[in-house]
Amino acid sequence: MNVTPLADLPEVLRIETRRFPDDRGYLFESYDRVRYAAAGIDVAFVQDNVSFSRHGVLRGLHLQHPHDQAKLVSVLAGAIWDVAVDVRRGSASFGRWAAATLSAENGHQLFIPAGFAHGFCVISETALVTYKMSDQYDPPSALGIAWNDPDLAIAWPVARPIVSEKDAAAPRLADLPPERLPPAAVAAMPR
List the catalytic residues.
62, 131
Structure letter (DSSP) for residue 125: S
Q: What is the SS3 assignment for 168? A: helix
Contact indicator for 38, 85 with CB cutoff of 8 Å: no
Q: 139 φ, ψ to 5°? A: -50, -40
Residue 178 amino acid letter: P
Q: What DSSP element (H or E) covers 166?
A: helix 165-168
Q: ∠ at Cα 169 (61, 138), nearest 5°?
A: 55
162: closest CA among 132, 126, 131? Answer: 126
Q: What DSSP element (H or E) covers 86?
A: strand 79-86
Within a 13 Å sphere around the CA of 24, how many CA atoms are in the beta-carbon half?
3
Q: What is the SS3 assignment for 159? A: coil
Quick one: how far is CA 93 from the chain centroid? Answer: 16
